[in-house]
């Protein structure tokens, strides 16, 4: 289960800044770093190397 609690406390692992939750595409977005972190099968993949560029 992906809890709302976890979504609230996750930050960008690179800049430790707040993330924007794109619920439709299941992504966590860091605008300053220009990175999109994927959420796969309810698991956020918070790795800078695996993030997509915005």
Partner 1 sequence: MDARDYDAWYDTPRGRWIGLREAGLVHSALRPRPGESLLDVGCGTGFFTRELAARMSGPVVGVDINPEWVAYALHRDGGRASYAVADARALPFSDASFDCVVSVAAICFVSDEEAAVREVVRVARRRFAVGLLNRSSLLWLQKGRGGGRGAYRGAHWHTASEAGALFRGLPVRHLEVRTAVQDPSGGTRARFVERVWPRAILTGAFILVAGDIGNTQA
Residue ranges that bind partner 1, judged by CB under 8 A: 1-3, 5-6, 9-14, 16, 40-48
Nearer to partner 1, 23 or 40 (CB): 40
Least distance CB 19 / partner 1 (angstroms):
8
Least distance CB 26 / partner 1 (angstroms):
13
Instruction: State CA 17 to chain mean position distance.
Output: 11
Least distance CB 24 / partner 1 (angstroms):
20
Taking a C-beta distance cutoff of 8 angstroms, is the pair 44, 22 a contact? no
How many whole angstroms separate alpha carbon 15 and alpha carbon 33? 7
How many whole angstroms separate alpha carbon 47 and alpha carbon 26? 15
């Amino acid at each position: 289960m992906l809890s709302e609690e976890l979504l609230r406390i996750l930050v960008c692992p690179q800049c430790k800044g707040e993330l924007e939750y794109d619920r439709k595409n299941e992504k966590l977005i860091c605008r300053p770093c220009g990175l999109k972190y994927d959420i796969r099968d309810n698991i956020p993949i918070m790795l800078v190397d695996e993030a997509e560029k915005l």
